[in-house]
Structure formats: C-alpha cells, structure tokens
Structure 1
C-alpha cells in the first residue's frame, strides 16, 4: 500500500526497533537514577544529555542497518545469528554505558567535592 520504508519492515527490523526503544529508555533511566543518587551537579546532568544524544545517534544507525539487512534477502538463519549478536551488544552497551556513570560521579565528587 505505502511505498516508504517504515511500512515494509518485517520481523527482524521491527523487533530490533522495539529493542532499541527499550534499551534507550533503560539507558536514560539508569543514567538519571545513578547521577541523582550520587548527588550529580549540573555538569554531570549535561553529560547525561550528551550521552543520551550519542546513544540515540548510534541507535538510529543500528536501526538503519537492520532496515537494510531485512531487505537484503539473506536467509533467516543468517539474520537470526546477526540479530542475536547485535541484540547482545545493544543491551550490554545500554546497561554498561549507564553504569559507567558510577566511577565518573565518584571521581567528579572527589575532585570537585
């Protein structure tokens, strides 16, 4: 019916998009919670904005990659292997990136009080 790419997304691209949205929310909430608990300053809050922007740009790139892979005609098994690998990397980066604020906040507090 429609000729734009958004309506022709099949299983893997649509699932990756859903995981990207959930990972972005988890990344944001984890960062905000950690910085708030560590007594973050304005500088740390600005760092959160930059980190979230960077994560969103990377997520858009991954979403675009899966739009291309979904239309490439690769066999389902090959796509499934790539999907699981990318999914693991996405969630490790999302949770690990959020947890990186713990040492940053500790060092920031030690330097600036």
Structure 2
C-alpha cells in the first residue's frame, strides 16, 4: 500500500490502512449489536445461527471493501479524489453496521407470532 500525499496538510495518508481500521471497528460493532439485539429479543437457536450467517456475510463484504482500497492505494489517483471516495465508502459501511443488527427485531416479533 502506497501512502498518498494529502493536499490539505502535506502529510502522507494511507487510505487503505485507514479503511482497514474502519472496517475492523465496524465489524466489531456489527457483531456486538447483533448479539445484543438477539439476546434482548430472546432469540431462538435459529436466530443465533442467523447471527453466524450475518456476521460471515458482513465479513465477506468488508474484505471486499478492504481489497478495493488496497487496489486504489496502488493506483495513481489524486489525493482529493481518493479522499472523496474514502468518505463516500464510509457512509454505507457504518450505516450497515449500525442499522442491520436491528433488522432482527421484526424477525423476532414475526417468529413469536408464528410459533407462540
């Protein structure tokens, strides 16, 4: 990964490394929220298996994002463009890690209605 010189403060910024840190933090937050939401809803064994699948899917998507930034870091792209792409990629990453775990709540409600 080749650091890119930032226009605003004349220091080297390694966007691939920064994205990797964001991906790791988002994955931890995603996993913790998944577990907390399912635990609060009194999740069944099937919901716990769903957690396993959801975290696995998030990990695969996150690894793809890391690969993309590893690739972009090796390209000859201007610092301003890299910064804009970096900021644009942060929004869906953090949105998914904060919102997706709460999708278990309607699943838990539907499960209770169907199987209670």
TM-score, normalised relative to structure 1: 0.90
Check if 1:93 corresponds to 2:68: no
User: Which segments of structure 1 move beyond 3 Å, counting only runs of 4 or more?
Assistant: none
Could you say which residue in structure 2 is the equivalent of 1:5? none
Alignment of 1:1-113 (within 5 A): 8=1, 10=3, 11-113=14-116
Shift of 1:9: 5.3
Seen in structure 2, the aligned counterparts of structure 1 residues 9 and 36 have a Cα distance that, compared at 3 Å, is farther
Q: Deviations over 1:14-65 (max 9, x none)?
A: 0000000000000000010000000000000000000000000000000000
RMSD: 1.0
Structure number with the bigger relative contact order (C-alpha 8 A, sep ≥ 6) is: 1
95-104 vs 48-57, greater mean Cα deviation: 95-104
Paired residues in the alignment total 106
Larger fraction in helix: 1
Unaligned runs of 5+ in 1: 1-7
* Cα separation, 2, equivalents of 1:78 and 1:9: 15
* Cα separation, 2, equivalents of 1:30 and 1:69: 30
